[in-house]
Amino acid sequence: MKTRAVVAGLGTYVPEAILTNHDLEKIVDTSDEWIVTRTGIRERHIAREDETTSSMATEASRFALKDAQIEAEDLDFIVCATNTPDTIFPSTAARVQHQLTDKPIPGVDLQAGCTGLIYGMEMASALIQAGSYHNILVIGADKLTSITDYEDRTTAVLFGDAAGAFVLQRKEDTDHGVLSSYLQADGRGGNLLIQPGGGSLMPASKESVENRQHYLKMNGNETFRFAVKALPEAVEEGLKRAGLTVGDMNLLVPHQANLRIIDAAVRRFELDPERVVVNIDRYGNTSVATIPLALQEARMEGRLHDGDVVVLCAFGAGLSWGSNVIRWGK
Asked if 114 is part of the footprint of ligand UT7 (rule: CB under 6 A), the reply reads: yes
Q: How far is CA 63 from CA 94, 136, 272, in A?
A: 18, 14, 31
CA distance 94 to 29: 40
- Residues 83, 285, 313, 324: which is the catalytic one? 285
Backbone torsions φ then ψ of 108, nearest 5 degrees: -140, 155
Q: Rank residues 261 and 309 by Cβ distance to ligand UT7 and give the closer one.
A: 261
Q: Is 313 in the site for ligand UT7 (CB under 6 A)?
A: no
Which of 21, 45, 83, 114 is labelled catalytic? Answer: 114
Length of the chain: 330
Distance between CA atoms of 193 and 58, rounded to whole angstroms? 27
Q: How far is the CB of 154 from ligand UT7 (least distance, A)?
A: 4
Q: Which residue is catalytic, options 45, 135, 255, 324?
A: 255
Based on the shown chain and the rule CB under 6 A, indicate whether residue 134 belongs to the binding site for ligand UT7.
no
Backbone φ and ψ for 10, nearest 5 degrees, come out as: -140, 130
Query: Which of 4, 7, 9, 39 contacts ligand UT7 by CB under 6 A?
Result: 39
Q: What share of the chain is helix, strand, coil (3-state, %, to 5)?
A: 40, 25, 35
Binding of ligand UT7 at residue 154 (CB under 6 A)?
yes
**HSE value, Cβ hemisphere, 13 Å, CA-based, for 323:** 28
Choices 80-88, 153-161, 183-191, 292-300 (CB under 6 A): range interacting with ligand UT7 = 153-161
| Cis bond upstream, residue 90 (ω within 30) | yes
Q: How far apart are CA 288 and CA 210, in angstroms?
A: 29
Of 190, 196, 198, 220, the one binding ligand UT7 by CB under 6 A? 220
Q: Please state the closest distance from residue 242 (CB atom) to ligand UT7, in A.
A: 25
Count the site residues for ligand UT7 by CB under 6 A: 18
Give the active site residues.
114, 255, 285
Which positions touch ligand UT7 (CB under 6 A)? 30, 34, 38-39, 114, 153-154, 157, 220-221, 223-224, 227, 257-258, 261, 285, 316
